């Protein structure tokens, strides 16, 4: 069984250091696959996911500029100071159904923070519209962020979700644990359910997950456990994402798959497929357009 731990330290100069320590993160019985994103060596047997990077466990989170300004960026770097991409360089799969999750928006906040997929090293920044910083009309009630090494291909129509095309972003995660994450924090999570949100015609997956550090993590392993131990949470998540654009005069978002959340197995299927799309992207099998692959 893979073992891993994650710690976060905040220094006096507002530098957050996240340490990821893992043992055999890519191994499961009869399954082995690894890929060196910037190297020539690769080995595989009975593919689980299309590409999982081997990554130095020491990551520093460095803030540039002042929060809630157009210039604010949160960069990820190695101890040497070399910048890395939270989207491309942090591994997705830790084995045994556990994945890395990067927190972009801490729970109970409203600034719409996101990885800048079109900037080198894809730092976290606050989203803008018409040159103005974007905020949700009310706080988001869960930690929100992304699964690294995933991508929703905008050229790929999903026949199971009304033929909707991907939204050109990494897969989003709604983490339902009780603790408030820090922006840029990397957490180990296990997926529990998937929501097929359709936003202005684009497919925008939401994976519902829980941090392994949460006191109730051992109690929830699939969608039915969420309703049992976090009653009403799945409905609340769907309502929040359905309605958050309405105060701005936009129509409500929709959900595919019968307007119901899908179970853990389906969530794992979504993660596998979007990881494969990401692998094609970084191998340049698919045109990157304005996306940064650095």
290: Cβ–Cβ under 8 A, 6 or more apart, which residues?
118
| Secondary structure of the chain in HEC code, one letter for each residue | CCEEEEEEEECCCCCEEEEEEEECCCEECCEEEEECCCCCCEEEECCCCCCCECCCCEEEEEEECCCCCCCCEEEEECCCCCEECCCCCCCCEEECCEEEEEEEECCCEEECEEECCCCCCCCEEECEECCEECEEEEEECCEEEEECCCCCCCCCEECCCCCEEECCCCEEEEECCCCCCCCCCEEEEEEEEEEEEEECCEEEEEEEEEECCCCCHHHCCCHHHHHHHCCCHHHHHHHHHHHCCHHHCCCCCEECHHHCCECHHHHHHHHHHHHHHHHHHHCCCCCCCCCCCC
Question: Phi/psi zone of residue 228: left (φ > 0), alpha (ψ -120 to 50 degrees), beta?
Answer: alpha
CB 92 within 8 A of CB 131: no
Give the whole-angstrom CA distance, residue 101 versus residue 151: 14
pLDDT digits (tens, 9 = 90+) for 216-272: 999 999 999 999 999 999 999 999 999 999 999 999 999 999 999 999 999 999 999
* CA-based nearest residue to 76, from 67, 66, 88, 68: 88
The better pLDDT of the pair 29, 70 is held by 70
Q: What are the catalytic residues?
A: 136
Per-residue model confidence (pLDDT) at position 19 = 40
CB 94 within 8 A of CB 187: no
Residue 131: CB atoms within 10 A of its CB come to 6
Which of the residue ranges 47-61, 133-147, 166-180, 241-255 would you say has the lowest mean pLDDT?
47-61
Residue 6 has pLDDT above 60, yes or no: no
Residue 161: CB atoms within 10 A of its CB come to 17
Strand pairing partners for 218? none
Per-residue model confidence (pLDDT) at position 58 = 76
Q: pLDDT confidence of 282, banded at 50, 70, 90? A: very high
Domains and CATH numbers, the chain: 59-283 (3.90.80.10)
Q: Which two tokens stand for residue 253?
A: 């978002």
Per-residue model confidence (pLDDT) at position 14 = 39
pLDDT digits (tens, 9 = 90+) for 76-120: 999 889 999 999 999 999 999 999 999 999 999 999 999 999 999
Give the whole-angstrom CA distance, residue 250 versus residue 125: 24
**CA angle at residue 278 from 273 to 284, to 5 degrees?**
130
What rounded mean pLDDT belongs to the chain? Answer: 86
Strand pairing partners for 194? 207, 262
pLDDT digits (tens, 9 = 90+) for 7-59: 344 343 434 444 443 333 333 332 223 333 443 333 333 334 444 333 445 78
Residue 75: CB atoms within 10 A of its CB come to 20
């Amino acid at each position: 069984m893979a073992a891993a731990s994650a710690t976060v330290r905040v220094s006096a100069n507002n530098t957050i250091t996240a340490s990821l320590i893992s043992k055999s993160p890519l191994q499961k019985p009869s399954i082995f696959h690894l890929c060196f994103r910037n190297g020539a060596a690769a080995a595989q047997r009975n593919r689980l996911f299309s590409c999982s990077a081997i990554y130095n466990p020491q990551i520093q989170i460095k803030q540039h500029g002042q929060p809630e300004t157009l210039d604010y960026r949160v960069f990820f770097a190695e101890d040497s100071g070399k910048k890395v991409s939270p989207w491309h360089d942090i591994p997705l799969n830790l084995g045994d159904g556990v994945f890395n999750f990067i927190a972009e928006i801490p729970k109970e906040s409203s600034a719409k923070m996101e990885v800048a997929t079109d900037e080198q090293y894809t730092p976290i920044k606050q989203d803008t519209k018409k040159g103005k910083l974007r905020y949700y009309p009310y706080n988001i009630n869960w930690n929100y962020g992304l699964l690294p090494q995933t991508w929703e291909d905008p050229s790929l129509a999903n026949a199971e979700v009304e033929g909707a095309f991907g939204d050109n972003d990494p897969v989003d995660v709604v983490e339902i644990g009780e603790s408030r994450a820090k922006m840029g924090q990397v957490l180990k999570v296990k997926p529990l359910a998937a929501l097929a949100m359709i936003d202005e015609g684009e497919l925008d997956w939401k994976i519902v997950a829980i941090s392994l550090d949460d006191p109730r993590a051992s109690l929830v392993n699939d969608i039915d456990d969420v309703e049992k131990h976090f009653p009403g949470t799945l409905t609340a998540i769907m309502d929040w994402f359905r309605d958050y654009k309405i105060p701005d005069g936009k129509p409500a978002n929709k959900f595919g798959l019968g307007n119901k959340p899908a179970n853990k197995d389906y969530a794992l299927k979504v993660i596998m497929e979007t990881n494969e799309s990401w692998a094609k992207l970084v191998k340049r099998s698919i045109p990157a357009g304005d996306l940064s692959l650095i």
